Structure formats: C-alpha cells, structure tokens
Structure 1
Amino acid sequence: MTEQRIGIIDIGSNSIRLVIYERTSGGAHRVIDGSKRAARLSDQLDDDGAFPSRTIDELVDMINHFRLICAHHRTGLIRAVATAAIRNASNRTEVLHQIEAKTGLPIELLSGEEEAGYGFLGMINSMDIQNGFLIDIGGGSTEVSLFKDRTLVQAVSFPFGCVSMTRRFAKGGLLSDQQLRELEQHVTEYVEREDWLKTTPGLPLIGVGGTVRALGKVHQAHIKYPFESTNNYPILGQSTDVLFELLRKEPLDKRSKMPGLSKDRVDIIVPGIAILRTIYRLIGSSHYIVCAAGLRDGLFYATRFPERPRLDDVLTYSVNNLAALHPEAPMQHTSQVNRIVLSLMDTLQSQVRNPGQARQLIDVASILHRIGASIDYYDYRKHTFYLMINSHINGLSHVELLVCAAIASFKGKNRVKQIAAAYKPMLSEEDVNDVCKLGTLLQLAIALDRSETQAIGKLHIEIAGGKLHLRAIRADGMLSVERKEVDALAGDFKKVWGLIPVLHSPDHR
C-alpha cells in the first residue's frame, strides 16, 4: 500500500496550526510536518464583533501557505476547521465565504460541542484513563467535558478563553488581585449554570491545548524534571497555585525569561491558568493531568478511522504503531521472543513485585527491544532506549515508560544505575532491581531464539532443584546455538533470579 497523507488545519483563536499525518507502507501512522502561526484572532475583532478585511486577507494568506506545504507533501486530503474566534464573529459567514473562495478549501465551522468531542477523542486515544473531566482552554472559548468508562458523557463550551480574558481583565497580561477576583467571578457565573459539573468531585482534570501544555512545561522546568514529555504528566493543585502566583507577580519582561514558557504565551498564560484553577476548584478535582494530544489528533482519528475512531487499547495501538515504524526489526523473531518471555513470566510471576504491571512492561519491552537497529545494529540497545523514551508510547506513566525502555535495552546493572542517575529521582532502588530482573528475563528469551529461526515451537518451563528447566517439546534441529547462549547467560541469570536456566532438547528428558 502506498503512503497516504492527511493534512489538518486548525484555525484557532490564539494560533493557526497545520499538521500532516502519513500512513506508511507498513500501516503505521506518523506526523511528517507541521507549522504554527500566532494569530490572536480574538484580539482582531472590531467594535461590532466583526473581523476587518485586513485580518481576513491575512487568514487567506496563511491558509494558502499551509496549502502549499501540503502540496509539497502530496497530501491527499486536507481537513480545515475553525473554532471559537470565527464562531463568535458577527461576520463569520462572510469570513468563511472569503476564505473558501480565495483558498479553494472548504472550512468546517465547529460548534463548541463538536470541538469538545474532537478534543476528547484526541485525549482518550493518547491516555489510558477511565474517568475524569477534560478541559480545553482556547483563545476564545473553554470546553469542559465529563467522561466515564472512556466515554464522553456531557460537554459544555464557555464563551471565554485565555485571549479574550486577557483582553477583558488583564490588559498587557498583568492581573491585579481585584482583576483576578473579577475574572474568577465571571468564570464562576458560567460554571454555576451547569449543575452536572459539580456532581462528581474527586476526579482528575485533564487539560489539552496550549495553556495547560505551557503550565506543564513551566512546572517541569521549575522542579527540574528530568523527563522531556508532557503527555500524561500529573500536577497537584497546590503546585499549580504556587506557580500561578509566581507567574502573576512577575512583570512581563521577567516572565518572558521563565524557563519553559514560549514567547507568544507570556501575556495570556496568567489569565489562562486563572480560568483553569477556578474551574478545578468549582468541580472539586483531585489533581491535574497534562495531555499533549487534543483537537487536531481527534480530527485525525475521526478522518482516518471514521467507523471506529476511539481506540479500545491505547497502549497496544501505540506499541504496534511504533514497531511498524521500524520494520528493520525482524518481525518473526520479536514475536517469538515476546511469546517466550510471557511464558517465562507466567512461570516466575510469584518472584516479582507487581506481577500484573511487570507482565505488561516486559510485553511492551520485548516487542520493541530491536527497534534501535533501525538506526544502527551496533549498540542498538542504546538507540532502542532513546527511541522508546522519545516516541509516543501512550498508556504508560513516565516512570513506567522509563522502566520499560530500560528493560528493552538492558545490558547489565551498571547501565541501569547510569539511567537511574540521569533520571533522578524518578527511579527508586526497587525500580532498578525490577529492571535487572525483567531485563535478564528478556535476555533469556532472546537467547532462546538466538538463531532467529523460531526453532522452538513449544516450550515447557518448570522450576526444580534450583534450576529453571526449559524443555523444548517441539523443535526444529538440535538448538545448539540457543543452548550455548543460554549457558553463557546462566551466571548472570542465577545472580538475579537464584536459578540456573537449562535448555533441554526434545530428545533429552
């Protein structure tokens, strides 16, 4: 199958973005290009709430620029949507007509509920979470949704966002105590009208969109967090309040130097977080979680998989997608290693901490352990580690992802200690021990298919007399390569598991 490309253009109130997704010949999806232009559309409205022709011309110019980028990539389908800024403009019909006439692109004007729905789809397909509230603070609107059992239950779109609130309460991005009270009162009045928002306290508040992502980046820089991803990043309410006051007290010139904060958010970040905190308090949330996906991702899934856009198993989808992006790893071999390692795990599960979690992590690690070979076979473990922690493996916490990457790239305890030192204080001593145990187990599974011929058809595993007996019930050939590898690994395995692995051929009982 040839590559297929989908372009998504999101005409938001704060910025206009393009993302181009590609389906590779192996059936995997990846982003191959993207572009962003700050627009501040909510600021461009005149006294009648209309966009002047100058702004429309700039929009046309920007969308034509994005169309050219799509054309260079031979993008088969472009889907362009507009949200709150154009939705709220008094001349929105004329704006849409002009854009379509001058760019040749039909523009979908999303309702607040549709916007919330696509944002939810982007989030739920990138996180393994059952219940919670979702918030998307845009430039001109804020969507809040409640979901239970991974299904959207109810959503509302409020007609305020970080740009419009900055314009109304925080000219120049500075928010006095009095202005803050007025902003909070304004948000509260809208939230009070929606009774359902207060019926399920204690749920996490997951944030998509620029405001929450910026909060995540500033928080990570503030605490010197050693891991770079913001997806699935939890923040406590108290930490957000501390950071909010820190940002609010800084004049703009100093605020612009805050690590983690992009220049185009310096003035709108404080009103944005003010909206976030107010809604968080009113609905009685337990903590915040930053989500790196959102509206554009939701639009992609809805376009690519119109019949079933919501993923049932986020982790399996993203692991299989990542494996398919690196087809250099021999598929039959990794499948065999995966099958063997899960059999070993089932026999030895009583000897590991959190067996359910350990099984999940070694499952993922065994599928991905060879992806580093797509960079270079020599030292592929190092490349595997890098690729895993810098790819979209959704459905794991940051610690789980780090442990999983360390298992997949395991080479010995010293290297695990180096990783733990580099990512202090994320990995505990117990985590290091888990990685050594599971990493060694993965090495044994790899040894059992060292010839990469899948010679072992069926394996019977039992523990007796201080040994881990591996009996090949069905096998092609004498397994001499595999036996040598298992024997070479026996000393290291005994140190960690207290058992000596012994491979018996089918003819040896």
Structure 2
Amino acid sequence: MIDIGSNTVRLAVYQVMDNGAYRVIDQGRWSARLSQKLNGDGILPLDAVSELVEVLRHFRRICRMHGATRIRAVATAAIRQAANRREVLERLGRKAGLNIELLPGEDEARLGCVAMLRTMDVQDGFLVDIGGGSTEVSLILGRKLVNAVSFPFGCVNTALRHSLGGGAVSAAQIERLQADIQATMREQAWIAEHPGLPLIGLGGTTRALAKLCQRADNYPYANLHGYEVPVKKLSDKLNALAPLNVDKRRKVPGLSKDRADVIVPGLAILQSVTRMTSASRIVICGAGLRDGIFFETCLPRTDVSDASMVLEESIRNLAALYPSVPQEHPLQVNKLALTLFDRLASSGGQSLPSRARAWLDAASRLFKIGAIIDVNDFSDHTFYLLTHAHWNGLTHREILLTAAIASYRGTSPARKKLSAYRQLLQNGDYEAVFKLGSLLQLAAALDRSESQAVTSLHVSVARGNKLKLAATARHPLPVERTEVDSLAKEFRKIWRLTPRLTVV
C-alpha cells in the first residue's frame, strides 16, 4: 500500500498468510512536501514529479523484493489540488510502472474510519486526519460513519498560506489562522452538535503530539495506538513550540526534525478541531489510510458494529501469527479458566475489576505463544510478545495486565515484570494479576497432559476453604492431579482456597 500524501509518501508492505494471519513486514517513508511545491498557478513542477517517480520506483523494488502480488497506490490532497493532476498521474504511472488512484476526499475520510473501526473499540467519537494538504473530519455514532468532510487545509499548505516560515509564530498569527479554519468548519453544522465525544486522531500531526507527550512524561510503554492526550496538553505543547524558530524546534526531545516546520500549524488545526467539536479528550489511532486500504482490499469484510470484534480479531491474529502449540490446548485452558472464574467471581468476598473476565479470556488463549521462541522460558517470551506486538481492543494498561496474567509464574516474577510500568497501573492491579494469573495456572494444570481429557468441570467451595474440582474425564488424570497439588499452596495464599481435583 502506497500513500502519496501531501506531506509524506508512505509505503507499508503487508504479509497475509495461508491461515489468515497478517502483519506489516516492511515500511518506507519520504518527506515529499508536495503541497509546498505547487506553484502560484497550482501546477506541480515536473522536477518534483521526477523526484516522486524515483521514490515510487524505490518503493516498487521493495515490494518486489518481498514478493508482493499486488501494489495499490493512492494519491491524496496535493495531487487532487494540482491544476496539472491528470498529467502528473499519467507521468507517475508511466515512469514508475504503477496504476495510481486519485482518492477523493470523501473516500480518504471513509478509509480512515475503516482503519479506526477495525483497530479500536470506540463506540462514538469524532475522527480527524490532518494531512499536509487536507484535513478530514468524520463523525462516528454507534460505530457507524454518520458524517464526513474533507477540508482543503493541512499542516503544509496552511503554513504557506499564513507565511509561517522558519521563525517563531506569534499568538496573533495563530489566532488568525484558527479564525480562518473555524470559519470554514462552521459550514458543517454537525461538527458542533455532539459535544463531549472523544476526538480520535490519525496522521502525522497527532502522532507527533503523542510522541512529545510520551517523551516529556517518561511514558514507559512504547506504543502510540490508544494513547490518550488531555486537551490541555495540546494547548501546552502548541504554546511551548510556537515561540521557537525551526532550528530550536528540531532540538525538542521527541519531535522529528522533518516535522519541525509544520508542527505548529498542524497543532493549531488540531486545536481548532478540538474546540469546534468540544472534544473531551484526544485519543491516538496508530492505524491510518494505508491500513484502511489494506483492510478493504485484502481482508474479508467484517461487521464493525460489534466493538468486541476488535479484540477478538486481534487474539485470533496473534494466535495465528505465533502457532507455537496446537490450538486445542489453549482453547481447553481457556474454557477451564473461564469456568473457574465464573464460579469464583460469583462467590462472596472476591473483588475483581469489571474487565477481569476479558483479560483472563485473552490471556488464557495466548499464554503459550512465547513457546515459539523457547519452550523452557516461554512465559517470559509470552510477556515480551504481548507487550510488543500490535494488537487492539485493550488499553495500554490492559495490555500490560493481560501480558502479566498470561505469563504468570508467581507473585514475585509478576511484580518484577510490571515494575517498569508502575506509572500506568492503578490500585488493585497487582492483586488482580495475582488472582487471574494463578487461576490461569490452575486451568493449565487441569490440561497438563495437553490431551483435553477433561470434558466437564464442576467447581464448588466446601468447608475448610476447599476448592473442589470435580472433573469428568476421558481417562484418569494423574499428571493433572500432581500439577494441581503443586499449585495448592500458592493458590491458597492468593484465593484463600485450597484446590483439590477428583475425577468423577
């Protein structure tokens, strides 16, 4: 997927496996600044087109190296706005050997929504994608696209229009810039009719804002997707960056050097959208146009109206990407773990977070993926994979907790794994990990032979704080009984119950 954007040209090479698993295996980017290169008559000069041809040829070679069977290239605002767009597209296609689609603004907004809905469980919200030459704003209600518009202003052409060169940007300049933007946005009355919704940000400007905030806060989790930025922090960053010239902005920790000259107009646009929508918060979506094109082009259509499908699809994809064990064993452990949870969560005196079952469900289906690296230390590798893989449907905190549950090997190792992420944790999180992790251990013990011998399990609490596990099984369970007994002491410390397995 090649996105010929107004500010940046980006490549993403996707691999789709026979089992349906998919992942990005290579990426490329080139700072194009096509909007800056349009002359006074709106013509994109041929020397800029020739430079772009060489970039596309390079991207095409990367695709061939990976054996890509299909390349889809789209052009957005800068070429849409070029007076010679027909000639540009013809020359690019002929010289670079690609069929390049000119993407209408409405389709650009729609594909951004596809990317967001496939990777986030947001029910309602505004979506904003600030590019170099255009800004798309969309309204999502009940996980359906209700309204969308593409405005002809982005971070690059706004900088040109308001003569924001390499120097500091005054408060008066920002005020004039935002007055123009808001006047244009007021033509779309629906933008102001749903105050208090989150604003989901796609594109380089919102990602740059997130990186700045994460760097300033020493945020311990290196993931942008799902990261939340309070509205006040947007104002703080804009106010801090605007008085600096470009050279000084290039030295700001966390800010990419090639974005230093367009970050202020980009943030000013974002602030305008935030104010017009009266957004409650800004949430970063790491997926974008290329992902939306990929989902629509290469994957089966999915009913995105159900938000739970986001997490479900991520679990399915991770399990397929890391097929370390036959799936019958994790599925059996998952079934047993949820049976134990449902019985114990309903018993008195057990305090667990409302999302605990979802964490245990995910952890019990993915707990063995680390075995693809090394079966002896698979739990440590599982924690690493789950905290570094791209998966969706959980917050950053929930991903960390799920990874700790999936890799649980006792209270001390769990504390050690989570110690670097204390900033993200809440009161009670360690206790939840201990309870759910030990529950997963017990469920795995009940299928230690990996034979799926247990066909049903009756769980009850008896006198003397005994947790009776009455299993109906296809054969005796000596290995499972030994495993359960070895876990009993640790389990009793956490749950104040001693598990005992019997076969009925």
TM-score by structure 2 length? 0.96
Contact 2:143 2:305 in 1 (8 A): no
SS in 1 for 2:424: coil
**Could you tell me which of 472, 490, 493 is aligned with 1:492?**
490
Report how far residue 306 of structure 1 moved: 6.0
Pairing 1:7-406 to 2, within 5 Å after superposition: 8-169=1-162, 170-172=164-166, 174-305=168-299, 307-308=301-302, 310=304, 312=306, 313-350=309-346, 351-354=349-352, 356-406=354-404
Report how far residue 417 of structure 1 moved: 2.0
Contact 2:144 2:305 in 1 (8 A): no
Report how far residue 327 of structure 1 moved: 0.7
Q: Distance in 2 between matches of 1:180 and 1:454?
A: 65
Q: 2:447 is matched with which residue?
A: 449
Q: Distance in 1 between matches of 2:350 and 2:405?
A: 14
Worse overlay, 250-259 or 327-336: 250-259
Q: List per-residue Cα deviations over 1:221-256 (Å, max 9, x = no partner).
A: 011111110111111111111121112223322321
Report how far residue 104 of structure 1 moved: 2.6
Q: 1:468 is matched with which residue?
A: 467
Report how far residue 103 of structure 1 moved: 2.3
Worse overlay, 249-258 or 198-207: 249-258
Report how far residue 172 of structure 1 moved: 1.9
Q: 1:5 is matched with which residue?
A: none
RMSD: 1.3
Unaligned runs of 5+ in 2: none
Report how far residue 311 of structure 1 moved: 7.4
Contact 1:13 1:41 in 2 (8 A): yes
Report how far residue 309 of structure 1 moved: 7.5
Structure 1 counterpart of 2:149, which letter? V
Q: 1:419 is matched with which residue?
A: 417
Q: List per-residue Cα deviations over 1:437-465 (Å, max 9, x = no partner).
A: 00000000010011111111111111111
Q: Distance in 1 between matches of 2:16 and 2:226?
A: 25
Report how far residue 65 of structure 1 moved: 1.3
Report how far residue 60 of structure 1 moved: 1.3
SS in 2 for 1:155: strand
Q: Distance in 1 between matches of 2:353 and 2:239?
A: 43
Q: Distance in 2 between matches of 1:327 and 1:311?
A: 29
Structure 2 counterpart of 1:434, which letter? A
Q: Distance in 2 between matches of 1:280 and 1:289?
A: 11
SS in 2 for 1:157: strand
Report how far residue 416 of structure 1 moved: 2.2
Alpha-carbon distance change, 353 to 83 in structure 1, aligned in 2, over 3 angstroms? farther
Structure 1 counterpart of 2:59, which letter? F
Report how far residue 407 of structure 1 moved: 0.4
Alpha-carbon distance change, 420 to 428 in structure 1, aligned in 2, over 3 angstroms? farther
Q: Distance in 2 between matches of 1:80 and 1:141?
A: 18
Q: List per-residue Cα deviations over 1:105-156 (Å, max 9, x = no partner).
A: 1111111110000011111111111000000000000000001111100001
Report how far residue 354 of structure 1 moved: 4.5
Report how far residue 73 of structure 1 moved: 1.2
Q: List per-residue Cα deviations over 1:409-452 (Å, max 9, x = no partner).
A: 11111122223321122123400000000000000001001111
Q: Distance in 2 between matches of 1:141 and 1:456?
A: 59
Q: 2:407 is matched with which residue?
A: 409
Contact 2:400 2:418 in 1 (8 A): no
Q: 1:436 is matched with which residue?
A: 434
Unaligned runs of 5+ in 1: 1-7
Structure 1 counterpart of 2:389, which letter? S
Worse overlay, 69-78 or 254-263: 254-263
SS in 2 for 1:178: helix
Q: Distance in 1 between matches of 2:413 and 2:340?
A: 24
Contact 1:118 1:295 in 2 (8 A): yes
Contact 1:471 1:504 in 2 (8 A): yes
Report how far residue 178 of structure 1 moved: 1.7
Structure 2 counterpart of 1:433, which letter? E
Contact 1:166 1:173 in 2 (8 A): no
Structure 2 counterpart of 1:227, which letter? Y
Q: Distance in 2 between matches of 1:395 and 1:352?
A: 26
Structure 1 counterpart of 2:391, which letter? I
Structure 2 counterpart of 1:490, which letter? A
Contact 1:19 1:34 in 2 (8 A): yes
Q: List per-residue Cα deviations over 1:318-367 (Å, max 9, x = no partner).
A: 11101100111331111110010010011011354455411100000011
Contact 1:349 1:355 in 2 (8 A): no
SS in 1 for 2:191: helix
TM-score by structure 1 length? 0.96
Worse overlay, 173-182 or 113-122: 173-182
SS in 2 for 1:77: coil
Contact 2:169 2:244 in 1 (8 A): no
Contact 1:301 1:310 in 2 (8 A): no
Q: Distance in 2 between matches of 1:353 and 1:319?
A: 26
Contact 1:10 1:16 in 2 (8 A): yes
